[in-house]
Amino acid sequence: MMSKITFKILTFIALSSMLLASCGGGLPGADARKYPPQPEKRVEKNMEEGKGFVLMDKVKGRGNTNFEFASSNELWRATLDTIDFMPLITANYSGGIIVTDWYSDDQNSNESIKINIRFLTNEIRSDSIDLKIFYRMCKSTNNCTINERKSNLADELKKEILKKAAVYEKTTNDKRKKKKRTKIN
């Protein structure tokens, strides 16, 4: 009968030998003669072949990176400002989605709404966001129905978001023009 210590040692040796054996092969099919020794050239070759990703956008003289943040996206800011009365479940800028929690006013506690907003583009256009409103009607705590209805509320919210985004965009453009003029003078 094998003792626990002997079993642990044999298991350790077996796992170690498998891990060490897998280290010698490198990448399957990788040939060092096909990859340049200079890191910059390897990165360039990988990017040309569609492998990898760019963090600092310094490949082949492309210049500096201009990172976009949620605060610089007028449509995103306008949407959050418009629905600021609603509690949020998810606000994922990189995924382009905002989901609110169920909201009910004090007048009708049996009815609540939930809003899902998907950003289809960053441009300020009527088709740039997909806004859906879901209604939940409850007769009792465990007896609720949920459905999506086309309503004036969705249209009104969308119009308000687009109006605010247009104002934000104009303000941003005016600031850029003013800053540019002061640099020239």
Domain spans of the chain?
70-184
pTM of the model: 0.58
CA distance 42 to 52: 11
- Locate tokens 């994922």: which residue? 92
Dihedral angle computed from the Cα positions of residues 171, 177, 182 and 185, in that order, rounded to the nearest 10 degrees: -160
CA distance 15 to 82: 57
CB of 84 closer than 8 Å to CB of 91: no
Which range among 11-15, 56-60, 126-130 shows the weakest confidence by mean pLDDT?
56-60
Bridge partner list, 144: 138
Angle, CA of 170, 174 and 177, to the nearest 5°: 140
Q: Exposed/middle/buried for 160, CB within 10 Å: 0-12, 13-18, 19+?
A: middle
Give the tens place of pLDDT for each residue, 115-129. Answer: 999 999 888 998 999
Q: What is the pLDDT of residue 18?
A: 65
pLDDT range class, residue 45, cuts 50, 70, 90: low
Sheet holding 129-140, edge to edge: 88-92, 97-100, 111-119, 129-140, 143-148
Percent of the chain with pLDDT over 90: 37
CA distance 165 to 38: 46
